[in-house]
């Protein structure tokens, strides 16, 4: 997959990380809380703390979260830059499809106009 502008690896990593619903829920929780420990996050999910830590590692590798040690705790927070790169890629992809659909519409409308004109000419 090409993320365009050299962001392909970032986009690939983000999309792969977000493919899992548990990781999306973790990201949602972190976005709502600002930051949280794996223990606090696990309290809100039907998975163990160890599973949460593994999911956070995948999100971290994709650049979506970062961990910051505060005393004995590791606190995680959302890092929006990778999401921004992915959102820009998706917006560019959507714009490309919009252009293609507009071209198809224009061609179809022109073909319809031509067909109507031919029918009028034949009726004369």
* 37-79 pLDDT per residue, tens: 999 999 999 999 999 999 999 999 999 999 999 999 999 999 9
Q: Average pLDDT, stretch 73-99?
A: 92
Query: What share of the chain in percent tops pLDDT 70?
Result: 94
Write out the DSSP string of the chain. Answer: ---STT-HHHHHHHHHHHTSHHHHHHHHHHHHHS-EEHHHHHHTSSS-HHHHHHHHHHHHHTTSEEEEEETTEEEEEE-HHHHHHHHHHHHHHHHHHHHHHHHHHHHHHHHHHHHHHHHHHHH-
Q: What is the pLDDT of residue 7?
A: 67
Model confidence at 9, pLDDT cuts 50, 70, 90, reads confident
Look at residue 4 and tell me whether its pLDDT is greater than 70: no
Sign of CA dihedral 75, 20, 54, 14: negative
């Amino acid at each position: 997959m090409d993320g365009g502008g050299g962001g392909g690896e970032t986009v690939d990593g983000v999309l792969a990380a977000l493919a899992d619903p548990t990781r999306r829920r973790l990201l949602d929780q972190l976005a709502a809380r600002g930051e949280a420990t794996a223990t606090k996050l696990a309290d809100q999910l039907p998975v163990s703390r160890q599973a949460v830590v593994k999911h956070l590692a995948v999100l971290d590798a994709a650049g979506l979260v970062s961990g910051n040690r505060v005393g004995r705790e590791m606190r995680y927070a959302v890092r929006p830059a990778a999401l921004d790169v992915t959102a820009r890629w998706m917006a560019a992809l959507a714009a490309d499809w919009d252009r293609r659909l507009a071209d198809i519409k224009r061609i179809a409308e022109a073909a319809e106009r031509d067909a109507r004109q031919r029918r009028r000419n034949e009726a004369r």
